[in-house]
Amino acid sequence: MSAAPVIELRGITKVFGRAAATVHALKGVDLSIASGEFVSIMGPSGSGKSTLMNITGLLDQPTAGHYLFGGAEVGDLSRDERALLRRHFLGFVFQGYNLLPRTSALENVELPLIYQGRPAAERHEAAMAALTRVGLAGRESHRPSELSGGQQQRVAIARAIVARPDVLLADEPTGNLDTARSREIMDLLQELNETEGLTIVMVTHDPKMAACSRRIVTVVDGLISDDATVGEAA
Amino acid sequence: MRFLLETARLAVRSILRNVLRSALTVLGIVIGVAAVIGMVGIGQGTTAEVTGQVSDLGSDLLVVHPGSIMTGGQLAPLFDEADFLAIVDQINGIEAEPLVARSGSAVFGGESTATTIEGADNGAIDILGYDLAQGRVFAETEMRSGAPVCVIGSTVREELFGVGNPIGETIRVRQLACEVVGLLVSKGATLGQDDDNVVFLPVRTMQRRVAGSRDIDAILVTVNDPQRMGRVETEIEALMRERRGIGPLEEDDFDVADMAEVASMVSDITGILTGLLAALAAISLLVGGIGIMNIMLVSVTERTREIGIRLAVGATGGQVLLQFLVEAVFLSAIGGAVGILLGLGLAWLVTGLLSVTFIVDPVIIAVAFLFAAFVGVLFGYFPARRAARLDPIEALRHQ
């Protein structure tokens, strides 16, 4: 854990709405995540953990504060600049899978590479490798509607890792799955973290899932209330 | 470049995914473009036809005939031989030929056909642009004596003789039995009227034995010096007013038509009609464009989540904009292409019915196609921009 932080948030605040209707979602968050970490973000609904996730994932901009990604200030980047960073350095996994409907698993996985402008042959190869990595070799031509929930989430994970990102952001990745499927997804994430050193930041409200990570950050009312390393015994 | 290719592929796919909807969406464009192409094609064909016809007749021709089309109430009296002779005697630098026309049937053996019977001497037949294919024209003595001889058009020949030789045969024209001395080269049809369905008799034969009067339906006047066209026209008008006893305040009950004038009038009218229809077509294109905008807006809403996914994996606003814009342009371009084919088909059909030349103008086609594509850009931009400006977080949450 001596690696330089890939994500460093300093005094991040986020205010929604205007005038009397303002909501302070984040009230000054400091968080540093080193390369190769597997961090869970927990907290009750409305605590601001999703907002924190969106800002960390460069989907949203903080109202104030500094966000250093790989050492560079990214808190004030434009929409398109953030899109380029997401394209090259971040992968996303969502609770609802968010695969393109009526599109094969292979093409779903290829999507980030299309925006990177990679040639078709290279895309196919990388997407096949990613699908194999998540245990879906042979399912590449299936459409999302022909896959189970667990399989769809695997496709989503393959899509998230296909471009070899620095950080994988997972928002309630097991929220729609039963216990057994959830377990499998967590095993896969753990394996990616351990064998490939992929940095993972995961939002969850399920302590059992959080326990699979190596560090749990708890957000309450827009502030980090607890930041603990998961013990070997936990 | 590679991304553009992917975008094009995506657009095609998205259009094919909902074929019926795509087809209905582009219907407005199809109709608009088809109308433009069809109308312009028909207009150009007609104009070319009329112009060609006039150059056949020659721009040195004046046609004098009683009673303009506008003359309401009773019919203006016809000309008679004295009128014709007056023109020949009193107007200088011209040659004149009388024309008497009736409709009737021509019969040979068991075959019969409805045709136009024209009393016209050799000069008039020549002025009208007919050439002899077989046999001979009228002899001077036949014209003077009103002999029962005739020269027939190729349609009459086909109807009565098939492929057989008509020369020397005797046919019955109305009540008159007359000998076929000549066959004319086919002229084709003008504006739906078959110019080959005609039987020519010498004027005198026509007057005495068919019409039963000395009336003349029209006088063809050839002006020797084309520079004097206008002057001759005025002189004829003055002469005829005098002869027909028309007071200074009364309108002419006859008409002196300059063929070049007729041609420019016809092409003016077709020009105006073409312009009007093109304007209507432009409105149709506008409506078609709005249809595309409407469907693209629906599509953006339907695909909000897809847009969110694309933005999340790193699509820029510009790339999303391009995706939807290309789709709109493809839709309208497909509409344009179908419209062009349909319009050409329409023009082909109508020009065929009117027996007018079918002209394909590549410039008009290119303009129509580009305009259709432009409609796609214009009306696709707003929905595409809306897609590009979506907030990725909101879009991903969209159900």
Distance from CA of B9 to the nearest CA of A (A): 12
Closest to B393 (Cβ–Cβ): which among A59, A84, A99? Answer: A59
Closest Cα in chain B to A118: B2
Short-list B211, B314, B279, CA closest to A80: B314
Q: Does residue B225 share a domain with residue B90?
A: yes
A73 strand-pairing partners: A68
Q: Does residue B43 share a domain with residue B154?
A: no
- The number of folded domains in chain B is 2
Burial class (CB in 10 A: 0-12, 13-18, 19+), A186: buried
Task: Read off the pLDDT of residues A182-212 as tens digits, 9 standing for 90 and up.
Answer: 999 999 999 999 999 999 999 998 999 999 9
Cα–Cα distance measured from residue A188 to residue B188, given in angstroms and rounded to the nearest whole number? 83
Q: Does residue B228 share a domain with residue B83?
A: yes
Q: What is the 3-state secondary structure (H, E, C) of chain A?
A: CCCCEEEEEEEEEEEECCHHHCEEEEEEEEEEEECCCEEEEECCCCCCHHHHHHHHCCCCCCCEEEEEECCEECCCCCHHHHHHHHHHHEEEECCCCCCCCCCCHHHHHHHHHHHCCCCHHHHHHHHHHHHHHCCCCCCCCCCHHHCCHHHHHHHHHHHHHCCCCCEEEEECCCCCCCHHHHHHHHHHHHHHHHHHCCEEEEECCCHHHHCCCCEEEEEECCEEEEEEECCCCC
Task: Read off the pLDDT of residues B135-151 as tens digits, 9 standing for 90 and up.
Answer: 999 999 999 999 999 99
Q: Does residue B246 share a domain with residue B136?
A: yes
**C-beta atoms of A112 and B316 within 8 A:** no
In this prediction the pTM is 0.73
- β-pairing, B189-190 vs B149-152, is unpaired
Helix (H) or strand (E) segment spanning residue B106: strand B94-108
Closest Cα in chain B to A84: B314
- The number of folded domains in chain A is 1
Helix (H, G, I), strand (E, B) or coil at B269: helix
Q: Does residue B221 share a domain with residue B286?
A: no
pLDDT in tens, chain A (234 residues): 445 799 999 999 999 988 788 899 999 999 999 999 999 999 998 899 999 999 999 999 999 999 999 999 999 999 999 999 999 999 999 999 999 998 999 999 999 999 999 999 999 999 999 999 999 999 999 999 999 999 999 999 999 999 999 999 999 999 999 999 999 999 999 999 999 999 999 999 899 999 999 999 999 999 999 999 987 434
Domain range spanning residue B354? 2-53+264-397
Q: Does residue B380 share a domain with residue B234?
A: no
Q: Does residue B364 share a domain with residue B331?
A: yes
The dihedral through the CA atoms of B111, B113, B119, B121 has a sign that is: negative
Interface test with B, best of A85, A98, A103, A171 (most B CBs within 10 A): A98
Burial class (CB in 10 A: 0-12, 13-18, 19+), B315: buried
Per-residue confidence (pLDDT) for residue A234, from 0 to 100: 42
A71 in contact with B at a CB cutoff of 8 Å?
Answer: no
Is residue A5 in some structural domain?
no
Is residue A29 in some structural domain?
no
Closest Cα in chain B to A103: B13
Distance from CA of A11 to the nearest CA of B (A): 22
CATH number for the domain spanning A43: value is 3.40.50.300
**C-beta atoms of A94 and B310 within 8 A:** no
**What ipTM does this complex have?**
0.94
